[in-house]
Amino acid sequence: MNEFELIARLTRSLPTNKNVIVGTGDDCAVLDLGVPEKLVLFKTDAVVEGVHFTRETPPEKIGRKALARCLSDIAAMAGTPLAALVTLALPPDQEVEWVARIYDGLNALAEEYGVAIVGGETTTNPERILISISLLGTVPREKQILRSGAKIGDAIFVTGELGGSLAGKHLDFEPRLAEARWLAEHFSIHALMDLSDGLAGDLRHILRASKVGAELSKSAIPISRAAKSGGLRHAASRLAGTLAAPESPKPPWVAALTDGEDFELLFTLASRDAVKLLDAWKLEFPKLKLSCVGKIVAGGGILIRDKTGSHKFDANGSAMPAQPKLAMSAATNSSTSSGCHALFDNMISL
């Protein structure tokens, strides 16, 4: 049983009440607590030694990452973070000064984004360090953006570059809070989430929630320099004090789809608005790349389109030829749509 199968089993029959607008299945829970003009966002996340960081990782970066992951989920709902609780589980002989440095990194990021740290809990964990963050935020009523709104014909966008995060980005990423709120204010975004499990893994969450499929252009995927460096990623991760990268590097485009820990935004909107968005984005965020990587199609799963046609992309990171009927359907959608789809053969990015 994998992580997502376990989550599905555990959340199958959770109790709820009249205050819950959105429970499990999205980046944050959405609650109506009677706050005028606002809904409350509620998120929890944990980082664990040996999974998300090592003992060689600078403790300031561990604390920063612990909070940044939750901030990225608030961004995924186009929200604003407010206050956090911190739980620390530590070995009994853990050096106090080292733990204090975790808080230095956490506090610095909290101050940067206006987040109050209002308490927490400490406990003993004999073998390894664990940090759990619970974060509250808000979003204007009727303005929360969920995973379930993607529509056939939508253009698919991602911010930044993807893959190779273990070379350092997973510790230093910037939560895309301002970018997400700007998108929600200026465009009709149909579906939105952040990228923690890789573009392929997280896009599947949108597809399942929206009951649609996707076709991605292989040449349009924004691949990071770290992902392109292949075998150098392992050495870079060791020097950065991060988790070890795979000994056998993936092809760069597969790394961009599957490495995870990118913490960029993934979203869809009507293809007719794609070019307008790209133009406006370039003016508003000139230093951050925005790429149109594909389109939402009928059916389910992910297709990868390259010079030879459309291929199914499976969970193991391999692409197989699609059934003729499915490939024909994707081609038909591409040739008859406008905006970003009209540029599908030469996907555009900034």
Q: How far is CA 19 from the centre of its chain?
A: 26
CATH architecture assigned to 3-140: 2-Layer Sandwich (3.30)
pLDDT range class, residue 9, cuts 50, 70, 90: confident
C-alpha distance from residue 91 to each of 97, 99, 120 (Å): 14, 11, 17
Instruction: Count CB-CB contacts under 10 A for residue 316.
Output: 7
Percentage of the chain surpassing pLDDT 70?
Answer: 85
Going by their DSSP bridges, the two strands 130-140 and 80-90 should be labelled as antiparallel
Q: Is the dihedral of CA 123, 129, 132, 133 positive or negative?
A: positive
Task: Report domain extents, the chain.
Answer: 3-140, 147-346
For 12-32, what is the mean pLDDT?
Answer: 94
Question: Contact, 133 vs 84, CB < 8 A?
Answer: yes
Q: Per-residue pLDDT for 277 more than 90?
A: yes
Q: Is the pLDDT of residue 195 over 70?
A: yes
The 8-class DSSP code of residue 339 comes to G
Which amino acid type is present at position 341? H
The 3-state DSSP class for residue 126 equals coil
Asked whether 142 and 39 are in contact (CB, 8 A), the reply is no
User: pLDDT tens-digit profile of 134-178?
Assistant: 999 999 998 999 999 999 999 999 999 999 999 999 999 999 999
Instruction: Write down the pLDDT at residue 12.
Output: 85
197 pLDDT above the threshold of 70:
yes
Extended strands (E) in 142-231: 154-159, 189-194, 213-217
Q: How much of the chain exceeds pLDDT 90, in percent?
A: 77
Residue with tokens 């060791």: 238
Least confident of 3-7, 82-86, 262-266, 274-278: 3-7
Please name the helix (run of DSSP H) or strand (run of DSSP E) that holds residue 226, with its range, or none.
helix 225-228
pLDDT (tens digit, 9 = 90+) per residue, 76-132?
Answer: 999 999 999 999 999 999 999 999 999 999 999 999 999 999 999 999 999 899 999
Looking at the domain that runs over 147-346, which CATH code has it been given? 3.90.650.10
Of residues 73 and 315, the one with the higher pLDDT is 73
The whole model's pTM is what? 0.88
Supply the DSSP string of 230-298, one letter for each residue. Answer: TTHHHHHHHHTT-PPPPSSPPPHHHHHHHS-----EEEEEEGGGHHHHHHHHHHH-TTS-EEEEEEEES
